[in-house]
């Protein structure tokens, strides 16, 4: 058999296998959608509305949404928010573009519009078009041009049983806090690996609901945002990823969808693609060089970097030496303040060098944090992990991060409203950092309480938590 014929045969077999896996996985307890029910079929009414943070959030804002394929116009209207209902009277109409995506739920059009020339620190109202209808009016606030304090949310992996279990985390975060500046999702929003699994994306958007449409997001691609093809010899982004998450598109060549940066007031936020870096050393090097150039040109007060896989892992059997080889030296050379990560399905935070005292300087390197928001839970690797000052198993967490000109105040909250960890990074007049622990480091870590873990390295798989009614 010729090489081309072998390749074609493998491709056909792989496709059939993936379709079989997709059909099997779709209803094995990872979503709340009953088998045979088309809950997330695209319709004339706009859904999956989400704001994406632009490079200039003080003067621009991007919105994405989904409709059925009958809607061939990407149109939104925007006006300054008013206390009166006549929002449409002075609203500006803005055109955008759409992309078609096919899934098990049918063909959908994913729309994108960017509002520009907005005024800083101003509340706006907007709506997006459907098929002979509009969405409701949503509101968002632009960033200030001054270095005013702001707070944002940081979530680790949602991934499994998202609507069932992640919903309460993101909603509890909103209920307990005033309007955040943005939400940062550190990858693995869904569980897909083979196939399409549009129901999972539908549940992720349901979990955030109107919050997605009123609070801008910063999206990090995790390994589960990539789809395996040809027996995992190749991985590509989920077909929904680019159309539903419009990113600034200014990263290194070949990685523009998943590598980018934005400036929120006096803070530079950088997103890297650790999945591509671990899959290909060239992608790791390319991102390190790009980041080095970005940080060399930066004069921001604070620098926060986010990627999915941790520089220093917390969980059993996980390690990412490639990231330490190529990325960590760039962080330390440029004085990155905070690195936000996911993937390990545990909680951990610490610096590159162990803490010898309560207060530490930036000489110990950036503060690295790993967190998890969904129900899939792993075991920590070692209670005496030298790179982690504080760890936890089996806690669904969200983080509130308050940024001021002279300090970053970090708090990790459980889904039940309990403060689990807190610290501050304080910056002096010379730009030097000191870390102050606000929770005693000798407090016992939270351990797995599942009486019957299915595997030795994990507390919960995540998908066994949805039980059908009897």
259 and 358 housed in the same domain: yes
Number of H helices, E strands in the chain: 9, 27
354 pLDDT higher than 60: no
Q: Who has greater pLDDT, 465 or 107?
A: 107
298 and 426 housed in the same domain: yes
Q: Which residues contact 315 (CB under 8 A, 6 or more apart)?
A: 344, 345, 346, 378, 379, 380, 381, 457
Model confidence pLDDT, tens digit, residues 386-413: 889 999 999 999 999 999 999 999 999 9
Q: How far apart are CA 376 and CA 370, in angstroms?
A: 14
**Nearest to residue 301, comparing CAs of 216, 424, 428?**
428
Model confidence pLDDT, tens digit, residues 290-336: 999 999 999 999 999 999 999 999 998 899 999 999 999 999 999 99
Average pLDDT of span 18-30: 48
The count of domains in the chain is 2
- What is the per-residue DSSP string for 224-255? GGEEEETTTTEEEE-TTHHHHS-----SSTT-
308 and 415 housed in the same domain: yes
Q: What pLDDT band is residue 230 in, cutting at 50, 70 and 90?
A: low
Measured in residues, the chain has a length of 470
- List the CATH number of the domain containing 170: 3.60.21.10
Weakest-pLDDT range from 149-158, 355-364, 427-436: 355-364
CB 300 within 8 A of CB 293: no
358 pLDDT higher than 70: no
First-to-last alpha carbon distance for the chain, in angstroms, is 53
Q: How far apart are CA 348 and CA 453, in angstroms?
A: 21
**Nearest to residue 125, comparing CAs of 74, 70, 85?**
85
- % of the chain beyond a pLDDT of 70: 89
Q: Which residues contact 281 (CB under 8 A, 6 or more apart)?
A: 322, 326
Average pLDDT of span 201-216: 98
Residue-range definition of the domain harbouring residue 213: 150-437
Q: In this predicted structure, what is the pLDDT of residue 461?
A: 92
18 pLDDT higher than 80: no
Q: In this predicted structure, what is the pLDDT of residue 387?
A: 85
Model confidence pLDDT, tens digit, residues 77-132: 999 999 999 999 999 999 999 999 999 999 999 999 999 999 999 999 999 999 99
Average pLDDT of span 415-434: 94
Q: Who has greater pLDDT, 167 or 385?
A: 167
- Give CA separation, 82 vs 51, 78, 181, in Å: 20, 11, 20
281 and 326 housed in the same domain: yes
120 and 166 housed in the same domain: no
The upper half-sphere exposure of residue 331, i.e. CA atoms within 13 Å in the direction of its Cβ, equals 29
13 pLDDT higher than 50: no
Helix (H, G, I), strand (E, B) or coil at 390: strand
132 and 172 housed in the same domain: no
Q: How far apart are CA 369 and CA 272, in angstroms?
A: 15
289 and 380 housed in the same domain: yes
Q: How far apart are CA 95 and CA 111, in angstroms?
A: 10
117 and 170 housed in the same domain: no
Q: Which pTM value belongs to this model?
A: 0.91
């Amino acid at each position: 058999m010729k090489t081309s014929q072998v390749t074609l045969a493998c491709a056909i077999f792989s496709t059939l296998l993936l379709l079989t896996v997709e059909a099997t996985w779709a209803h094995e307890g990872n979503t709340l959608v009953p088998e045979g029910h088309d809950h997330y079929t695209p319709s004339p009414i706009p859904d999956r509305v989400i704001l994406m943070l632009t490079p200039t959030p003080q003067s621009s804002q991007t919105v994405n949404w989904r409709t059925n394929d009958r809607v061939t116009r990407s149109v939104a209207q925007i006006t300054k928010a008013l206390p009166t209902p006549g929002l449409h009277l002075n609203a500006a109409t803005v055109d955008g573009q759409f992309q078609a995506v096919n899934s098990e739920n049918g063909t959908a059009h994913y729309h994108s519009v960017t509002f520009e020339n907005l005024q800083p620190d101003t509340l706006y109202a907007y709506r997006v078009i459907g098929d002979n209808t509009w969405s409701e009016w949503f509101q968002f606030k632009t960033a200030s041009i001054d270095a005013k304090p702001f707070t944002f949310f940081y979530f680790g992996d949602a991934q499994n049983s998202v609507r069932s279990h992640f919903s309460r985390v993101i909603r509890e975060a909103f209920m307990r806090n005033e309007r955040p500046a943005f939400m940062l999702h550190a990858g693995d929003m869904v569980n897909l690996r083979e196939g399409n699994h549009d129901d999972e994306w539908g549940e992720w958007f349901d979990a955030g609901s109107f919050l997605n449409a009123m609070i801008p997001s910063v999206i990090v691609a995790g390994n589960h945002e990539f789809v395996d093809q040809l027996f995992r010899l190749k991985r590509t982004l989920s077909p929904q990823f680019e159309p539903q998450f419009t990113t600034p598109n200014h990263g290194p060549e070949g990685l523009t969808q998943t590598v980018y940066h934005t400036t929120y007031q006096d803070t530079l936020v950088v997103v890297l693609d650790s999945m591509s870096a671990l899959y290909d050393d060239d992608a790791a090097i390319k991102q390190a060089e790009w980041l080095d150039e970005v940080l060399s040109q930066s004069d921001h007060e604070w620098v926060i970097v986010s990627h999915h896989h941790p520089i220093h892992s917390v969980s059993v059997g996980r390690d990412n030496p490639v990231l330490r080889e190529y990325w960590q030296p760039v962080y330390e050379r440029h004085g990155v303040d905070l690195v936000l990560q996911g993937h390990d399905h545990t909680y951990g935070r610490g610096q590159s060098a162990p803490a010898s005292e309560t207060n530490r300087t930036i000489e110990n390197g950036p503060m690295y944090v790993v967190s998890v928001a969904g129900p899939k839970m792993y075991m920590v690797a070692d209670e005496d992990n030298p790179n982690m000052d504080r760890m936890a198993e089996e806690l669904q967490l969200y983080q509130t991060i308050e940024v001021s000109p002279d300090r970053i105040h970090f708090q990790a909250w459980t889904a039940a409203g309990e403060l689990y960890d807190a610290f501050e990074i304080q910056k002096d007049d010379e730009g030097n950092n000191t870390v102050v622990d606000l929770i005693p480091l000798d407090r016992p870590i939270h351990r797995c309480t599942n009486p019957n873990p299915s595997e030795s390295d994990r507390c919960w798989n995540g998908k066994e938590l949805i039980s059908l009614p009897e």
